[in-house]
Amino acid sequence: MLRIENLHVGYGEAAAISDVSITLGKGELVCIIGPNSAGKTTLVNAIARLLPVRAGKIIIDGQEATRLTPQQLCDLGVAIIPEGRRLFTSMSVEENLDIGCYHAKARANRMQSLARIYDMFPVLSERRRQIAGTLSGGQQQMVAIARALMAQPKLLLIDEPSLGLAPVIIKQVFETISAIHTQGVSILLIEQNATKALAISQRAYVLDCGAMIAEGTPAELRDRSEINAAYFGHGH
């Protein structure tokens, strides 16, 4: 579904991401964990085509996507739940969802998608007319998830979904991501909260200082003491 080969991304002289390679199979949920400022968001923004790539390749569903515009990426069935949610804050909840299905293919199924999403998040149905910027953080995250689902993505990029949310909401968000994965969507999850992310992922990569330092199944990573110590804070 997604293959990244020797990707380099950088601002100016400094390389924010160097020589990163990732694979994500169809229907897989893969997470990228790592400390703050490890380059996780840079990586996901490069995949989402919001940042230019310096070198390397991004291949999505067998198609070269390295130089596409965000709009062309949308044609390939990729949707993003960005860090900090980045809703259309002056628009209503339902208008945010409408933009989610702006693409012609998704728009054709608007009614079914809306019904499914309001079923999944009843609170969004109650607040469909409310301006998105006035919702609570947790509800805004639901809108961000729902907006991406309206696009009926094949590949979903999720960046730091737990950021700034209360623990009870975080639990709910991860359950939702897991449920979306069960419905067959391939997911690349970027998350600082390694414990939570590994609990729902099939495979994981560890990113630090812009480089990939480890990969494996959650169990394998937990068994590696140096990673355990550095990223889970569980000691040895």
**Which residue's CB is nearer to another protein, number 99 or number 211?**
99
Residues 132-171, interacting with another protein (CB under 8 A): 147, 151
* Residue keyed to tokens 């990569």: 205
Could you tell me whether strands 55-60 and 2-11 are parallel, antiparallel, or unpaired per DSSP bridges?
A: antiparallel
Number of alpha helices (DSSP H) and beta strands (DSSP E) in the chain: 11, 10
- Helix, strand or coil for residue 186? strand
Nearer to another protein by Cβ, of 117 and 221: the residue is 117
Nearest CB to another protein, comparing residues 40 and 49: 49
Size of the site for another protein (CB under 8 A): 30
Closest separation between CB of residue 161 and another protein, Å?
15
Whole-number minimum distance, CB 153 to another protein, in Å? 10
The footprint of another protein on residues 42-101 (CB under 8 A) is 48-50, 69-71, 73-75, 79-80, 82, 86-91, 95-96, 98-101
Gap between the Cα atoms of 212 and 156, Å rounded: 21
**2 contacts 57 by C-beta, under 8 angstroms:** no
The minimum distance between CB 139 and another protein, in angstroms, equals 17
Q: Is residue 100 a contact partner of residue 148, using CB atoms and an 8 Å limit?
A: yes
Sequence-distant (≥ 6) Cβ neighbours of residue 171 within 8 angstroms: none
Joined together, the tokens standing for residue 192 give 């600082």
Does 203 bind another protein (CB under 8 A)? Our answer is no
- C-alpha distances in Å from residue 188, one per residue of 25, 43, 150: 10, 11, 17
Interacting residue ranges for another protein, rule: CB under 8 A: 48-50, 69-71, 73-75, 79-80, 82, 86-91, 95-96, 98-104, 107, 147, 151
